[in-house]
Structure 1
Amino acid sequence: MADLILHHYPTSPFSEKVRLILGHKGLAWKSVHIPRIMPKPDVLALTGGYRRTPFLQIGADIWCDTALIAEVLDHHQPEPPLYPAHARGLSRVLAQWADGTLFWAAMGHNLSPKGAAALFAGQPPEAAAAFAADRGAMRTNMTVLRPADATSAYRSYLRRLSSMLDDQPFLLGEIPCIADFAAYHPLWFSRVVNPAMAGVLEATPDVLEWMDRMAAIGHGRSEALSSADAIAVARSSQPAALSDEVFQDDHGIALGSRVTVAPEAFGTEPTEGILRAATRTRYTLERTDERAGTLHVHFPRVGFVLREVKA
C-alpha cells in the first residue's frame, strides 16, 4: 500500500485528532504542513476545492473529513479498533456530537476576544485580522455562539464528559475509541494551543487525567514531506480500484454524472468532478489536475451535499 500522507498544520485541532489515531494504530506516515489560511494552491490541486484541514492522501486517492479518514485508517489497521463491538453506534454518535456541538462551544470559548488576544499575542495585527477573515469566510451563514454562551455550554459539556469517566479510563470503556479522539481535540486546543483559556478545564479533574492518557498515545512515526513531493506522488500514481459496494442512489444522479460535493456548513467550497461511486457511506469523485494528474477524491455522505452540475 502507498504511504499515508497527512496534510495538516501543527495547531489544527482536527489534525490532532488524526495524528493521535495514527499513534493509536502504531502507523508510520508522511507529514505535509499546509497553510492554515488561504491561499492554499497545493491543497486545491489535490482536493479540487475542499479546504478544511486535515485531509489524507494515499497515492492518487484523497480522503476528506476526519470521520471518513478515521474509517480508512481503521480499515488499514484494524487493531486496536476505533469502533468497539459493544458500542459501534454509540461511539459514532458521540464522535459526531463532539466534532460538531462540543467543538464549536470549545472554539467559541478559545477564540473569544480574550482568547484571540492571547493566541495572537506578539504577532502583527494583520495576522489576527487575516485569520479572522479566513475563518469568517468559512462560517458564512453559520449560527455562531457568542463567547459567553459558548463558555457556559463548554463547561456543561466538560461535566458530562467527566461523568462518563467516573469509573473507566476512557469514554466508553478500557481503551480509547473514536469518541475519545473526537472529544479530545477541541479540549487539546484549550490546553496546548491556547493555554490562557485552559482554566475552564480545572473544574473537571477526571477530564484532565483522561487528557493525559490521550496525550500519552503520541503521534506514531512521521517523516516530513513537501507539498510538491506529495503532488508528485499523486501524479505518479493511479487511484485505487473502487470497491464493489452497491450504488445507493438517493438523489436521482447517475454514476458518471458531473457533480459537486461540498460540506453542509463550515468551509462550503465545492469540489467538482465525475461521480464514480456513491456507496451507503461515501461519495467518490474523479477529477484531473494539471499538476496532480487523475485523482479520486472521497467524501462521507453524512455532513456533505451532493449536487448535479447542469449543462
Structure 2
Amino acid sequence: MHTPDLILHHYGTSPFSEKIRLVMGRKKLAWKSVIVPSVMPKPDVVALTGGYRRTPFLQVGADIYCDSSLICDVLEHAQPEPPLYPPHLRGCSRVFAQWADTTLFWTAMTYALQPKGAAHLFTGQPEIGQAFAADRKAMRVNMTQLRPADATSALRSYLRRISSMVEEHEFLFGAEPCVADFATYHSLWFIRVQVTVLADIFAATPAVLEWMDRMAEIGHGRLEPLAGDAAIAVAARSEPAIAEENLLVHSAFQDDHGIRLGSRVSITSESFGAEPTEGELVSATRTHYTLRRSDERAGLLHVHFPRIGYVLREVRQQGG
C-alpha cells in the first residue's frame, strides 16, 4: 500500500517549524516542504485548514494536522523509533514540552521581539516588519503579554534551570533527546539564530549553548520542495484516511461537551490565533478532534486538532 507523503507547510524563521523540522531529522524522515507566508493573506493555507493559520501544519494526503504538539504525535505514530516519548518519560516529557511551548515560548518571543530585536530581524525591510507586527497583534487579541524587562528576567532564570539539567546529561532528561528537548529548543533557537543581536543572554549559561549545538546537529531529515498549489492538488485527488489507517492512534468517542458526532462545530485556539475552523465533527477521542470539511480547490478534507489548547463549540443553525 502506498504511504502518502508527509507535507510540512512552514517558513524558515518560524520557531515551531524548526521544532518539527528537527523532529523530522531525529526520525530520519523524508518530507515535502511547502513554504507559506509569515503573515496574512494565506489563501493556500486557509484552503486546507479552513481558517487555522498558525505555522506549521502537516498534510498527509487529505488529512491536515494542526498544532506542533499533535504533529509530534502523528510523526511518532508514523515512525516510532527513535521515540519522542520514551516509556519512562512519557508523562513528564509531555508536561515539560507543554510548559516550553507556552510559558517559555512567550517569554522568549517577548524578549526577542523587543524594539532592538525586531529592528535586527527586519533590517532593511521596515514594511515587512510593520506588517508582521500588525499581523501578530491581531493574533494576540485578549492575550496578556509580559513587558520586555520582565521577560528578560524570567528568561535568565529559565536558562539557568535548563542549564542545570544539561550539565548533568547530554539532553534534558538523559542521553537521548525527547519531545521536551525539541519543544524547549525552538524558541531559544529563534533568539540565537534569528535575533543574534540579543543572543548575549546565553553567555552566562554555556551548557545551554553546548546542548543547542547537539540539537542543531540532528538536522532536518530529507526534504524536497513542493509548491503550495501542488500540495492542494495532492489533497484534491486524495481521500481522508479512515480511522484504522490514520496516523493517529484510534480511540473511542469521548464526549465532554454534550456535542454529538455529526454536529456542525467550530474549533479555535484558546489564545493566540483564534480564527475558527468550522466543519462536521467526525471524531472526538481522548486526545484530539477531527472535522470534516470541503473546499472548492482542495476537495474533501479531515482537519485534526489536539484537545489541549483548543475550544470546541457547536455551531447553531440560523432560522428553521
Partner residue in 1 for 2:300: 294
| Counterpart AA for 2:56 | P
Q: How far apart in 2 are the matches of 1:166 and 1:86?
A: 21
SS of equivalent to 2:261: coil
Q: How does 1:64-75 map to 2 (within 5 A)?
A: 64-75=66-77
| Counterpart AA for 1:177 | C
Partner residue in 2 for 1:282: 288
Q: How does 1:130-209 map to 2 (within 5 A)?
A: 130-209=131-210
Partner residue in 2 for 1:83: 85
SS of equivalent to 2:51: coil
Partner residue in 1 for 2:129: 128
1:87 shift after superposition: 1.1
Q: How far apart in 2 are the matches of 1:84 and 1:126?
A: 45
SS of equivalent to 2:204: coil
1:197 shift after superposition: 1.1
1:213 aligns with 2:214: yes
1:118 shift after superposition: 1.1
SS of equivalent to 2:243: coil
Q: How far apart in 1 are the matches of 2:130 and 2:118?
A: 10
Q: How far apart in 1 are the matches of 2:243 and 2:311?
A: 21
Q: How far apart in 2 are the matches of 1:111 and 1:84?
A: 34
Partner residue in 1 for 2:98: 96
SS of equivalent to 1:143: coil
Q: How far apart in 2 are the matches of 1:82 and 1:35?
A: 29
| Counterpart AA for 1:200 | I
What's the CA shift string for 1:5-43, capped at 9, x where partnerless?
A: 000000000000000000000000000000000000000
Q: How far apart in 2 are the matches of 1:108 and 1:264?
A: 19
Q: How far apart in 2 are the matches of 1:87 and 1:242?
A: 27
Partner residue in 2 for 1:45: 47
How high is the TM-score relative to the length of structure 2? 0.96
SS of equivalent to 1:202: helix
1:65 shift after superposition: 0.2
Q: How far apart in 2 are the matches of 1:210 and 1:166?
A: 9
What's the CA shift string for 1:45-82, capped at 9, x where partnerless?
A: 00000000000000000000000000000000000000
SS of equivalent to 2:223: strand
1:205 shift after superposition: 0.5
Q: How far apart in 2 are the matches of 1:167 and 1:138?
A: 39
Q: How far apart in 2 are the matches of 1:220 and 1:107?
A: 26
Q: How far apart in 2 are the matches of 1:192 and 1:282?
A: 33
Q: How far apart in 2 are the matches of 1:222 and 1:126?
A: 31
Partner residue in 2 for 1:237: 238
Partner residue in 2 for 1:113: 115
Partner residue in 2 for 1:262: 268
What's the CA shift string for 1:141-170, capped at 9, x where partnerless?
A: 000111111111111111110011122100
Partner residue in 1 for 2:24: 22
Q: How many residues align structurally?
A: 310
SS of equivalent to 2:154: helix
| Counterpart AA for 1:297 | V
Q: How far apart in 1 are the matches of 2:104 and 2:127?
A: 29
| Counterpart AA for 2:137 | G
Q: How far apart in 2 are the matches of 1:126 and 1:206?
A: 38
1:121 shift after superposition: 1.4
Q: How far apart in 1 are the matches of 2:131 and 2:100?
A: 27
1:223 aligns with 2:229: no
User: Is 126-135 or 30-39 further displaced after alignment?
Assistant: 126-135
Q: How far apart in 2 are the matches of 1:17 and 1:290?
A: 32
| Counterpart AA for 2:304 | H
Q: How far apart in 1 are the matches of 2:58 and 2:128?
A: 27
SS of equivalent to 1:200: helix
Q: How far apart in 1 are the matches of 2:131 and 2:108?
A: 21
SS of equivalent to 1:251: coil
Query: Cα RMSD over matched residues?
Result: 0.6
Q: How far apart in 1 are the matches of 2:104 and 2:18?
A: 16
SS of equivalent to 2:265: strand
Q: How far apart in 2 are the matches of 1:57 and 1:12?
A: 17
Q: How far apart in 2 are the matches of 1:219 and 1:166?
A: 25
